[in-house]
Amino acid sequence: MEIKHIIFDFDGTLMDTAPVILATMAATIKEMGLPERNVEQCRATIGMRLEDIPAELFPEVPDISKEYAATYRRLFTQENKPSIAQPFPGVIETLRKLHSLGYPMAVASSRNHKSLQEFTDNFGLADLFCMLIAGDDVKEAKPAPEPVLTVCREMGWTAAETLVVGDATYDILMGRNAGCPTCAVTYGNQSRNQLLSVSPDHIIDRFPDLLTVLND
């Protein structure tokens, strides 16, 4: 079926936020006196809601989800992190090309809405997206289909005609669970093998290659 709409993940798909996120995570762990975790353990949680990360990283430390999220957000804001992250190569140009071709686009991210809005505004992307769905806009986070289904319902899109693009297995599973075709990107926070383990419909190594996927 022809692709008529596109929903993007944000971190690791559109924006290279990993250095910023990892630095803030390290500072949060240090301030809270939590057990040390290595870079790869922390990287594996990028894209999850902040409140869900402690259960993944520190299952032996109960009831810290709210404190962890609040500490992370405070440290993130103090460092003015949105101005440090950068879009991946070709993202801005390709998004504007897709916009000019008439593709309605949205973002489904696990970060909170205020932060997501700040990032899109900071890089002049807000006019390209018809909707932003953040982690605090839904009850069930990725890989549940709620973020995608919310966009489709609000915008009147058909899931089978909506491509979901992301850099993590839970992005691909979110799209599939919603009944959408999916496209994985290999330059983000998970490896090609990790992404192939969930069988995306398409997989690309560069963001501009999305134009080729849409022309197939």
pLDDT (tens digit per residue) in 157-203: 999 999 999 999 999 999 999 999 999 999 999 999 999 999 999 99
88, 207 contact by CB (below 8 A): yes
Structure tokens that stand for 56 in this block: 């993944």
User: Mean pLDDT throughout 197-211?
Assistant: 98
pLDDT of residue 83: 60
Separation between Cα atoms, residue 216 and residue 9, nearest integer Å: 22
Domains of the chain: 5-16+86-215 (3.40.50.1000), 18-82 (1.10.150)
**What are 53's two structure tokens?**
């990360």
Residue 204's DSSP bridge partners are: 185
pLDDT surpassing 90 at residue 57: yes
Residue whose entry in the numeric block shows the structure tokens 């069988």: 199
Q: How far apart are CA 189 and CA 14, in angstroms?
A: 12
Confidence of residue 82 (pLDDT cuts 50, 70, 90): low
Q: Report the predicted TM-score, pTM, of the whole model to 2 decimal places.
A: 0.91
- 1 — pLDDT class (breaks 50, 70, 90): confident
Residue type present at position 164:
V
Mean pLDDT calculated for residue range 49-58: 94
pLDDT at 47: 85
Q: How long a stretch of residues is the chain?
A: 216
Q: Provide the percentage of residues in the chain whose pLDDT is more than 70.
A: 98
DSSP string, 76-94: HHHTTGGGT-EEPTTHHHH
Which pLDDT does position 152 carry in this prediction? 98
Tokens of 64: 């810290």
Distance between CA 166 and CA 153 in Å, rounded? 20
pLDDT for residue 81:
55
* 37/140 Cα distance (integer angstroms): 26
Q: Report pLDDT for 120.
A: 93
Answer yes or no: is pLDDT of 115 > 90.
no
Beta strands 202-204; 182-185: pairing state: parallel
| Locus of tokens 């979901």 | 164
pLDDT at 63: 93
Residue 139 CB-density burial (10 A; 0-12 exposed, 13-18 middle, 19+ buried):
exposed
